[in-house]
Amino acid sequence: MGKRHDDNARTGRLDRRTLIKGATAAASGSIIAGAVGAQVVSSAQGDGGPMSDRAASIQGGASGIEAMSVADLQAALASGEMTVRQIVQACLDRIAALDKAGPAINAVIELNPDALAIADERDAELAQGNSRGPLHGIPVLIKDNIATADRMQTTAGSLALVGIVPWRDAEVAQLLRTFGAVILGKTNLSEWANIRSFQSTSGWSGRGGQTLNPYALDRNPSGSSSGSAAAVAAGYVPVTIGTETNGSIVSPAGHCGVVGIKPTVGLVSRAGVIPISHTQDTVGPMARSVADAAALLGLLAIQGSEDPAQGGPRIYPAGATPETDAGAFGPAGGEPSAARPSASPDAVTPVASPVSDADSPRYPPKPEGGVQPIDYTAQLDPEGLQGARIGVLRGSAGFSPLADQVFDEAIATMKAAGAEIVDPVEMPSAAEIGSTPDGLELLLWELKADLNSWFATYLDPSSPIRSLADVIAFNDAHPDEEMPYFDQSLFLLAEAKTGLDDPAYIAAAANLQRLGRRDGIDAALDTHGLDAIIAPTNAPAS
């Protein structure tokens, strides 16, 4: 889910300029110079100094791999100035200097043991004049709830899933491989994407520990995509992948001073991502610049997948159970989970090859004719706001004077760029949205159904974890490791829910659609003739 403001990660402060300068010296092995300014969309600082000072600190010490965009790395590869191995090694060196040593940001939960071998394969392909696509040789970190059928874990930060290998890649992971990316590792997160407890801590997981905010180590990184945001902010890689159900991309992006895009549900496939809610979950890019985030989004937004929002099977047809139906994120057409080759020993053991990009049941075959990315960067036009009607949702402001100041500066910038500002606008359903219990109730219903479906679809039948009830039992059996700080109250509430054919669930889902769509965003857009609505995302990191 989203952020928590009561984060208990409290260590010494470290200005990010100092962090970058120190790490550049420590991780300089194969780094080429040439700073590139990062575009920061919101301030990660609390109550000192304006956003421009903090943004300047990002660029102030940046002189190597931590400052290079995807386009910069592509150019260095094309010119022969760098090899993929050099790029990957430089990223690994920087992670070694900052993540577990030095300031110990702890954004990375696991590194890919085959990263350098994959880099060598990418170099060999380039030497033969072959490129897999726009991400060829680009290192990417992905959140630890995105399935990979390689030698890495997929755990959502939970010790309950350690050692249990999904039988195939998530579609997002496969797209990254298809376009040539080097999946460098996985990022830490708020455990189970922050859906385990009312008291959960942003950026903490039983497996990964506490992720810190690279801007100030004693402040909240937010979550649940804490590690993905912190890794980009610390300059480990140019782009990462996060997930969001309710603020889990945009909030940590704001707290860590990077760009995060929360796509419309269904634009990017969720197939293979450990779920919370099939009606709200989405997968999106995080980057240092809008250009990099937009480019990555275009590569991920491939339609025609196994995601039910893109025509794949729906959750639990009437009378079905996890044992008889693959559920929300199963094989296209809703084939029974027994139809997949999970009985094969190869389905639950890492692939023999260190380069895990071959077509096989683990790695879904590439679509006929190849995948066709969408070029969102073509829309990055400095004149693009001319004549656009932008509505300002003032009801979401007022929580932080500093955030409001930055918000007002952004509005002025849009107006100067030619936008027509309509200020204020309100959503007719805003008060009801804030008071209805249906939002949480829907998440609890869908958590149980969707999570059980994912286990049935992506894990071998012999796995010791086959249901939410199994996870609850594991946590009860390992309280010192899994529950030293907070309980599993939300899990217990979800486990008590009935199926998705319950009339109460159906009514809650319909009410939320009405509040958010017809009487919410659509009503505001239509009433004022707007092209878009803007609002502040979150207060500064505390």
State the catalytic residues. 143, 224, 248
Tokens of 377: 């960067």
Q: What is the DSSP string of 485-499?
A: S---HHHHHHHT---
- Residue 101: name the closest of 234, 238, 206, 257 by CA: 234
Q: Which amino acid is residue 462, in one-letter code?
A: S
The radius of gyration of the chain's CA atoms, rounded to the nearest angstrom, is 22
- Contact assessment for residue 259 and residue 293, using Cβ atoms and an 8 Å cutoff: yes
Give the span between the Cα atoms of 390 and 41, in whole angstroms. 17
H or E, element range at 54? helix 51-60
CA-based nearest residue to 161, from 150, 147, 140? 147
The angle, 0 to 180 degrees and rounded to 10, between the axes of the packed helices 70-79 and 290-300 is 80
- Locate 524 and state its tokens: 């505001």
Long-range contacts of 358-366 (CB under 8 A, 24+ apart): 361/167, 361/168, 362/149, 362/167, 362/168, 362/169, 363/149, 363/168, 363/169, 363/174, 363/177, 364/168, 364/169, 364/171, 364/174, 366/178
Q: How many CA atoms lie within 13 A of 195 on its CB side?
A: 35
Neighbours of 467 (CB within 10 A): 15
CA distance 516 to 521: 6
- Determine contact, residues 239/138, Cβ cutoff 8 Å: yes
Name 351's bridge partners.
none
**Strand locations in 442-535 (E):** 532-534
